[in-house]
């Protein structure tokens, strides 16, 4: 591989992390909220699957 290509990839990553510095803690809170929402959806879905398995007599 060409050294210029590898340097370009390094600059791309450096610039993308500079964007995170610009966003500050707001970005962290957005990710935390998204993960919390997805966690609640996941737990609800697992409850639905367990309820369905109990009704059908499967998996237990």
User: Does 2 map to a domain?
Assistant: no
Report the C-alpha gap between 6 and 26 in whole angstroms. 31
pTM of the predicted model as reported, rounded to 2 decimal places:
0.62
Q: Average pLDDT in the 28-56 region?
A: 95
- Output the CA angle 15-36-21, nearest 5 degrees: 20
Question: Which tokens sit at 29?
Answer: 């809170």
User: Does 52 map to a domain?
Assistant: yes
State the pLDDT confidence band at 51, using cuts at 50, 70 and 90.
Answer: very high
User: Does 14 map to a domain?
Assistant: no
Give me the domain span that covers residue 34: 25-60
Q: Does residue 6 have a pLDDT over 80?
A: yes
């Amino acid at each position: 591989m060409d050294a210029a290509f590898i340097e370009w990839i390094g600059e791309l990553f450096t610039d993308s992390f500079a964007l995170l510095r610009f966003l500050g803690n707001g970005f962290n809170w957005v990710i935390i909220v998204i993960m919390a929402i997805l966690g609640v959806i996941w737990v609800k879905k697992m409850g639905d699957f367990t309820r369905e398995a109990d009704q059908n007599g499967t998996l237990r």
